[in-house]
Homo-oligomer: A and B are copies of this chain.
Amino acid sequence: MSRERVTVIDIANAAGVSKSTVSLVLQGSSLVNETTRAKVNAAIRELGYVYNRGAANLRQANAKSKIVGMVVNDLTNSFFAELAVGIDSVMQSAGYVQFLANTGENIDRQREVIASMREHGISGLIISPARGTEAADFGGLANAGIPVVLAVRNVPGARVSSLTSDNHAGAAASVAHLAKLGHRRIAFLGGFPDTAVFTERFMGYRDALFDAGLDFDADLAIGAAPSRAGGVEAIERAMRLATPPTAAVCFNDAVAFGACDGLRSRKIEPGSEFAVVGFDDVIEAKTAVPALTTVSVDPQGMGRRAAQLLLKQINSGTAEPEALVKSVRLVVRQSCGTGIQGGVR
């Protein structure tokens, strides 16, 4: 079974040339004669040779490996799965292969996998950092000149590139839309206050309330896990208030779906009787009933863009950090209804 490894020397012997010539063929050099090239390629097929990138990479110590790392905080969240797919598609086309690690918000795991990936010779890293990640966690990479792109979540003080979405503008657009529909009591549901993403969306919500001439009521800002279950919990709390809201801007789509579930179990129909807006535009948002009004972030597109940014940095060699903010778009569907006048039956 596990036969001896076929090396470039075996090919050389079989084809009756030197290993240098074989190497030249492997690199597609134009220096080698067509007939020799054919002979060598035949031998390669014949013997089932497999190129050893590890060895190649060892020799050309200056050159970069065709490996990048990808670290995400929660792959079970389909937002990040889509992000990964976007990255994957660009990296595959560029001839890269990628390590993937899921940290599950565990900082120690994150440190370990980054270290492990470094030992394996990644030439770049895209990471959606776990909560509590510090700038120092990228110190080693930055120091070695390995470019890092922070995706989705930023880390204050880190001297690396980042690609985030315009959370402030997205939340503000949601509030503005709801206000225009006539809502005066708009809740903000879900999310943990210790992340930059939360802060940005929440600030967008507050600022837009102000711009619309509405008061901010702290009771209407209800933190909860950024999950479907968290959404159920948050809407429950909101509807038990003395004067409950008539609309909610949710931290993300999962929370929004949870809010819809919670409303239904209270016999309130989301969309017609209560307006719900999400954030992220996950794939199910379009087909859900009611279809979810949400802020479209296009995670696949974001992944592609993060990958392109990383490739640019890898190729340029200069690791000049760059901070990109991806613009965002409110997609109006059924879940926010058509206005408070028509909505209340």
A97 at the interface (CB under 8 A from B): yes
A197 at the interface (CB under 8 A from B): no
Interface 1/0 per residue, A11-51 and B, CB below 8 Å: 00000000000000000000000000000000000001011
Binds B, one of A98-106, A130-138, A203-211, A215-223: A98-106
Taking a contact as CB atoms under 8 Å apart, the answer to whether B100 and A99 are in contact is: yes
Taking a contact as CB atoms under 8 Å apart, the answer to whether B317 and A289 are in contact is: no
Taking a contact as CB atoms under 8 Å apart, the answer to whether A117 and B144 are in contact is: no
A156 at the interface (CB under 8 A from B): no
Question: What B residues does A5 contact at CB under 8 A?
Answer: 61
Q: How far is the CA of A51 from the CA of B118 in the complex (A)?
A: 8
Task: Report A6 CB to chain B, min CB distance, Å.
Answer: 9
A341 at the interface (CB under 8 A from B): no
Task: Report A272 CB to chain B, min CB distance, Å.
Answer: 13
Taking a contact as CB atoms under 8 Å apart, the answer to whether B52 and A119 are in contact is: yes
Taking a contact as CB atoms under 8 Å apart, the answer to whether A264 and B284 are in contact is: no
Task: Report A136 CB to chain B, min CB distance, Å.
Answer: 13
Task: Report A159 CB to chain B, min CB distance, Å.
Answer: 11
Taking a contact as CB atoms under 8 Å apart, the answer to whether B119 and A50 are in contact is: yes
Taking a contact as CB atoms under 8 Å apart, the answer to whether B85 and A319 are in contact is: no
Q: Which residue of B lies closest to A260 (CB)?
A: B289
Taking a contact as CB atoms under 8 Å apart, the answer to whether A75 and B85 are in contact is: yes
Residues 80-104 of A contacting B (Cβ, < 8 Å): 81-82, 84-85, 88-89, 92, 95, 97-102, 104
CB contact between A88 and one of B95, B101, B112 (< 8 Å): that residue: B101
Taking a contact as CB atoms under 8 Å apart, the answer to whether A82 and B76 are in contact is: yes
A55 at the interface (CB under 8 A from B): yes
Taking a contact as CB atoms under 8 Å apart, the answer to whether B58 and A58 are in contact is: yes
Taking a contact as CB atoms under 8 Å apart, the answer to whether A70 and B100 are in contact is: yes
Number of interface residues of A (CB under 8 A): 64
A327 at the interface (CB under 8 A from B): no
Q: How far is the CA of A92 from the CA of B104 in the complex (A)?
A: 12
A195 at the interface (CB under 8 A from B): no
Taking a contact as CB atoms under 8 Å apart, the answer to whether A92 and B76 are in contact is: no
A119 and B284 contact, Cβ closer than 8 Å, known pairs A78-B78, A97-B113: no
Q: How far is the CA of A75 from the CA of B144 in the complex (A)?
A: 32
A67 at the interface (CB under 8 A from B): yes
Q: Which residue of B lies closest to A91 (CB)?
A: B101
Residues 133-173 of A contacting B (Cβ, < 8 Å): 140, 143-145
A287 at the interface (CB under 8 A from B): yes
Taking a contact as CB atoms under 8 Å apart, the answer to whether A76 and B75 are in contact is: no
Question: What B residues does A232 contact at CB under 8 A?
Answer: 287
Taking a contact as CB atoms under 8 Å apart, the answer to whether A50 and B118 are in contact is: yes
Task: Report A61 CB to chain B, min CB distance, Å.
Answer: 6
A261 at the interface (CB under 8 A from B): yes
Task: Report A115 CB to chain B, min CB distance, Å.
Answer: 8
Taking a contact as CB atoms under 8 Å apart, the answer to whether A144 and B50 are in contact is: yes
Residues 224-276 of A contacting B (Cβ, < 8 Å): 228-229, 232, 257-258, 260-261, 264-265
A3 at the interface (CB under 8 A from B): yes
Q: How far is the CA of A14 from the CA of B190 in the complex (A)?
A: 53
Taking a contact as CB atoms under 8 Å apart, the answer to whether A143 and B264 are in contact is: no
Q: Which residue of B lies closest to A61 (CB)?
A: B5
CB contact between A119 and one of B53, B100, B264, B317 (< 8 Å): that residue: B53
Task: Report A1 CB to chain B, min CB distance, Å.
Answer: 5
